[in-house]
Amino acid sequence: MKISNLSLAVSLATTGLMSASHVFAQDLSSESNAGPIEEVVVTGVGSVKRTSFDTPLSVNSFDETEIARLAASSNADILRNVPGISAEGGGGEVAVNLFVPGLPAAGQYAFTPLNYDNFTVVSYFGLNSSSFDVYHRSDIGLERVEVVRGGVSNLFGPGSVAGILNFISKKGSIDPEAKVELEVAEEGRVATNFAVSGPVGESTSDFYALSGYYRYDEGPIDTGLETKGYQIKGNYLHEFEDGSGNFAVYGQVIDDDVQFFLPLPLDADSDEFARGNNGSEVRTIQTDALDNFVYPTANGLRDLRVGNGVETSGSTIAVEINKEYESGWAFGAKAKYSEYTHYFNLFIPAGGDAVLSTEAFLAQQGLDGFENATFTNLNAGQTLSDSDLVYRTQAWDRRRPVEDVTAQFDLSKSFEINGLEHNFTGGIWLSRADADDFNNRVFYLSEFNDSPDLLALSVSGDDLNTAETETGTRHYSVNGFAGSGGHVNAGGSATRQAFYFADQIEADRWNFDIGFRFERFSAEYFDEGSQSAAIDPSLYAISDDDIVLANLQNDTIGNGIFTRLDVDATAWAGAIAGLYRINDQLNVYGNLSRGFFWPQARTLPGQVNNVFGVDNPIAFVENQFEEEIIDRIEVGLKLDTELFTGSIGLYNLQLSDSTTFRQVEQDDGTFEVEAILQETDTTGIDASGTFYFGSNFSVDVNLTYADHEFTAGPNDGNEIRRQPNFLAGSSFKYETDTFDASLSYSYRGDSFGDDSNNRELDGFGFWRAQAGYNLPLSGDDSLRIALSIFNLTDEEGLTEGNPRAGAGPQGDFAVGRPILPRRASLKLTYTF
């Protein structure tokens, strides 16, 4: 059934691509590439300088003009235009969830390293779950964004069969450039951006570039909490006078707090926003009532940082040198050091069945027997009725400092044998990442309204359930605080040592790549156990005659007992790729690669806790640690004419050796640990291209169809969660020297919110519109005025269910994260 859909998608995309040259009646035997766009050299895939058209891999690139027109507020706004990648931006500016068809993950950048200027932001994903884009942000200083998948892209640097994302900054040149930008948007957003570049003094070999932003934002969802902060980054470039290479220094400083939006209870029947006690839609359960909140713990009072959102402060410094020699040898070296103080504070929703009437909530907590029970709104001072809804949920403070060091050394040699030009590259990539994960959880009780107020709940009088006579007041929540229960003290380090080589061969009509990578990985990880400890009741601001109930009497703290694991493994990757130039405007390519992904070290303590019946569970888990293997094969076409440029690729991707553990009961009633291999298989098609109609009008299109499923493990036969089968997009663009406009549509097909396929999420699509006017001033000075509208028709759709709490019972409410609402923004950009 799915295969027929795939066949149809392949037929339609192939027909469209191949017929483009026929419809436009192009001379495909012309001597030069007639494509209207100047192709840029693809970076990070070896020593050969090739354009994306001549690279036997899947490549998508966006230049600074395209990025500006996307009015990107997060990386999702850019990456959702890349076929083969599903990008969710429902959380806001950071922690974009990226999914590659066939690779199960919680999101973030687990399979797709995030690079800035060919330096990976963090070298290993797995010491905590913070997304890489919380550490480094994009601004108007970008030159372009590249996404490269398949082939030898899994060999160099951090390596990744699934794809490498590279955000490339502008470098300075002889011609100075400068621009400043002011942005204002609905829901209280004000942002300033700048980018300047040029020569250092009168030098013709030394150049600089500097860019940054500061913004303040109360939206796009009004939670009463603020987003604010800044980033400054820059680079210095020295070109050797003999033209043999260059030396560059890169730097970045960030101090930023940004709100992050998670799922919330929705109407279970319609998956639309539910109505709160006041009759209005509940669009967020996040509340400024927890800003600057102080709560009691076993170690005294503690400040809750959840009102600050995702906090990041720190810096990166990196250096790079490239040198070519007349003998054909070339040397390249680069190194990076980064250190960040980081908190990923967030509101995590309970299940939909946690939204209850006050009467039902008392029964659930065993408090329905008291003669008197009072829910008091702490802001308005009003008491709730028996039918009013309340919600007991949680907020997390998660402190996650990280330190990362990487170094890379490449030696290349170009030579010719029997008419074939060989470009050999051998290199070493080294990295070490250190990160901690300290978490504290707070439960709070609120009304069920949009941006809710907190509730104080007290009971008094006789308890009919226990036949006890009680005259004092007992408190379930004090100032909204309903208990603490989570404690995490974990962290570790990971070291990677990779050796690789590749030969990239150039012939008259052929390009060949072949290469190999060998890597050694080691990680140390610790996780402290926990225990219950009493909270001093005097920390609660209640009367001396009152007492607190059991949920407020104890805290969860560390017990000083640590699970420590030390794992190491080796793995290899290999790739072969080829491209044949049918003519100067049509290429056929193919690539085959075997890559790997290191499991997340932070999951190891949990695996130890699930292992019973063995003498040494830690050693058992350590011995099972090995790479997860990714095999990928792709064939495709690339076409570049005056009236159409694009590509289509058909691929198969298989993931194997993804290991989990479970206890299996034996015939004698005992249990033994069994390693379960989870495997997936995906066959898909990615297609993208641009049609040009005259010099002013063009249409971009992209399409992904992926038939993916688990082929082994507990979910055998199911589709992979949060991954649709269909992704599509189109953009209609009009441009003159003074005016430009675009209208874009993005579609995300049906998917499942969980691997068990119990929670189905309907597909959705939304529109984006933008228009800009360039006002010439004097000389090269100009002022651009641009209006953009995200989600033009204010469509609704769910990007995810409730992955942090599992599928679970939902009651009258189902938890999900909607796409962001409509928002208009105005930008004034002065270029001088």
The phi and psi torsions of 12 (rounded to 5 degrees) equal -65, -45
What integer is the mean pLDDT of 99-113? 82
Beta strands 782-790; 764-776: pairing state: antiparallel
Tell me, letter by letter, the H, E, C secondary structure of 331-394: EEEEEEEEEEEEEECEEECCCHHHEEEHHHHHHHCCCCCEEEEEEEECCCCCECCCCCEEEEEE
Structure-block tokens of residue 150: 């398949």
What integer is the mean pLDDT of 221-244? 96
How far apart, in whole angstroms, are the C-alpha atoms of residue 642 and residue 620?
A: 61
Structure-block tokens of residue 606: 């949990």
What's the pLDDT score for residue 462?
Answer: 84
Q: How far is CA 205 from CA 142, 240, 242, 516, in A?
A: 21, 7, 10, 36
What's the pLDDT score for residue 50?
Answer: 85
Contacts of 211 (CB under 8 A, 6+ apart): 139, 140, 141, 169, 170, 193, 194, 195, 196, 232, 233, 234
Q: How far is CA 692 from the centre of its chain?
A: 32
What integer is the mean pLDDT of 586-590? 97
- Of the pLDDT bands very low, low, confident and very high (cuts 50, 70, 90), residue 23 is very low
What is the CATH number for 548? 2.40.170.20
Q: Comparing C-alpha atoms, which of 60, 57, 56, 78 is closest to residue 69?
A: 78
**Residues of the chain with pLDDT > 90: what percent?**
72
What's the pLDDT score for residue 15?
Answer: 38
According to the per-residue pLDDT averaged within each range, which of 6-20, 151-165, 252-266 is highest?
252-266
- State the number of CA atoms in the 13 A half-sphere of 86 facing the CB: 30
What integer is the mean pLDDT of 138-162? 89
Alpha helices in 223-370 (DSSP H): 358-364
- Of the pLDDT bands very low, low, confident and very high (cuts 50, 70, 90), residue 747 is very high
What's the pLDDT score for residue 666?
Answer: 57
What's the pLDDT score for residue 223?
Answer: 94
Residue 241: CB atoms within 10 A of its CB come to 8
> What residue type is 413 in one-letter code?
K
Is residue 714 scored above 80 in pLDDT? yes
What integer is the mean pLDDT of 575-594? 96
Domain boundaries, position 757:
2-831
What's the pLDDT score for residue 805?
Answer: 62
Is residue 685 scored above 60 in pLDDT? yes
Which comes out higher in pLDDT, residue 311 or 755? 311
How far apart, in whole angstroms, are the C-alpha atoms of residue 211 and residue 194?
A: 5
The backbone region for 13, taken as left when phi is positive above 0, alpha when psi lies in -120 to 50, beta otherwise, is: alpha
Q: How far is CA 52 from CA 24, 150, 540, 644, in A?
A: 22, 13, 64, 15
Tell me, letter by letter, the H, E, C secondary structure of 557-588: EEEEEEEEEEEEEEEEEEEEEEEEEEECCEEE
Burial of 287 (0-12, 13-18, 19+ CB in 10 A): buried
What's the pLDDT score for residue 665?
Answer: 55
What's the pLDDT score for residue 441?
Answer: 92
Is residue 68 scored above 60 in pLDDT? yes
Q: What SS3 class is residue 590?
A: strand
What's the pLDDT score for residue 661?
Answer: 56
Contacts of 48 (CB under 8 A, 6+ apart): 423, 504, 506
Tell me the helix, strand and coil percentages in the chain, rounded to 5: 10, 55, 35
- Of the pLDDT bands very low, low, confident and very high (cuts 50, 70, 90), residue 44 is low
Is residue 664 scored above 70 in pLDDT? no
DSSP-derived secondary structure for 679-722: EEEEEEEEEEEEEEETTTEEEEEEEEEEEEEEEESTTTTPPPTT
Sign of CA dihedral 296, 298, 299, 300: positive
> What residue type is 366 in one-letter code?
G
What's the pLDDT score for residue 677?
Answer: 75
Total of domains in the chain = 1
The DSSP symbol for 737 reads S
Structure-block tokens of residue 494: 């990971």
Structure-block tokens of residue 594: 């075997």
Structure confidence by residue, pLDDT tens digits, 388-412: 999 999 999 999 999 999 999 999 9
Structure confidence by residue, pLDDT tens digits, 287-300: 999 999 999 999 99
Q: Comparing C-alpha atoms, which of 131, 144, 136 is closest to residue 88?
A: 131
Is residue 65 scored above 70 in pLDDT? yes
Is residue 415 scored above 60 in pLDDT? yes
- State the number of CA atoms in the 13 A half-sphere of 203 facing the CB: 16
Average pLDDT, the chain: 89
User: Taking a C-beta distance cutoff of 8 angstroms, is the pair 185, 823 a contact?
Assistant: yes
Is residue 439 scored above 80 in pLDDT? yes
Is residue 754 scored above 90 in pLDDT? no
What integer is the mean pLDDT of 80-84? 88
DSSP-derived secondary structure for 165-212: EEEEE----SS-EEEEEEEEETTTEEEEEEEEEEESTT-SSEEEEEEE
Burial of 295 (0-12, 13-18, 19+ CB in 10 A): buried
- Of the pLDDT bands very low, low, confident and very high (cuts 50, 70, 90), residue 713 is confident
Burial of 118 (0-12, 13-18, 19+ CB in 10 A): buried
What's the pLDDT score for residue 4?
Answer: 45
Structure confidence by residue, pLDDT tens digits, 483-540: 988 889 999 999 999 999 999 999 989 999 999 999 999 999 999 999 999 999 999 9
